[in-house]
Amino acid sequence: MPRMRDNHKTKEQLIQENTELRQRIAELEQWEIDHKQAEESRRESEERYRTLVDNIDLGINLMDTDHNVLMVNAFMGKIFNKPVSDLVGKKCFREFEKRDAVCPHCPGVQAMATGKPAEVETKGVRDDGSRFDVRIQTFPVFGQDGTATAFIEIAEDITERKRVEEALRESEREASHYPRGHSRGILRSRPCRKPYLL
């Protein structure tokens, strides 16, 4: 009789172990479902982020403290006429201004040193040597210990704005040659008449 009791107890233990295993399997299956949902949410979030960053006519870059390009958006590839993948991992000063060392006016250096945003207007230089005017704003990125670990750079092509400003200055220089109150006239002529000044 005692032997049957041990067998019976073993059956109860097996039933208990089986129940525990089924419960553990159910927990693992639920974990896998939750993990897949979290992964899908993360992927969707990254897609939304990439859509936002890549569909703006501003260059958005992330550089580390050694001025290595960690991330760039599509506009940077467009403005420099090269695939984005050709910019990532390179030194920003080499890729964006064709320099051998950190730019003396680098707002990223200032932003990381002061912990505050910095801004500069400069010239971007493409691989073919062509130049364009650019306004760069930088923002420090801080690690958990509060030190700057990188900087974000926003680059705006201001070439057209600079052209308009120069045309306005030229127009003002020309206008300064005329006496005050005198408006520059336009010469017109009517058919069969003498030209006249408007």
Q: Which amino acid is at 109?
A: V
Is there a single domain that holds both residue 141 and residue 63?
A: yes
Please give the pLDDT value at position 14. Answer: 85
Range name among 42-46, 68-72, 176-180, 182-186 with the lowest pLDDT average: 182-186
**Contact by Cβ (8 Å): 59, 77:** no
Which two tokens mark 148?
A: 């700057």
Torsion over CA: 8, 9, 15, 18 (sign): negative
Domain total in the chain? 2
Is there a single domain that holds both residue 145 and residue 106?
A: yes
Maximum Cα interatomic distance, the chain, rounded to a whole number of Å: 137
Instruction: Please check whether residue 37 lies inside any domain of the structure.
Output: yes
Is there a single domain that holds both residue 16 and residue 88?
A: no
pLDDT band at 1 (very low <50, low <70, confident <90, very high): very low
pLDDT band at 182 (very low <50, low <70, confident <90, very high): low
Domain that holds residue 77: 57-163
Within 13 Å, how many C-alpha atoms sit on residue 150's CB side? Answer: 14
Give 98-115 pLDDT, tens digit per residue: 999 999 999 999 999 999
Give 68-94 pLDDT, tens digit per residue: 999 999 999 999 999 999 999 999 999
Instruction: Please check whether residue 179 lies inside any domain of the structure.
Output: no
Which of residues 24 and 188 earns the better pLDDT score? 24
CATH code for position 151: 3.30.450.20
% of the chain at pLDDT higher than 90: 56
Give 125-164 pLDDT, tens digit per residue: 999 999 999 999 999 999 999 999 999 999 999 999 999 8
Instruction: Please check whether residue 197 lies inside any domain of the structure.
Output: no
Is there a single domain that holds both residue 103 and residue 114?
A: yes
**CA 171 vs CA 164, 175, 198: distances in Å:** 10, 6, 19
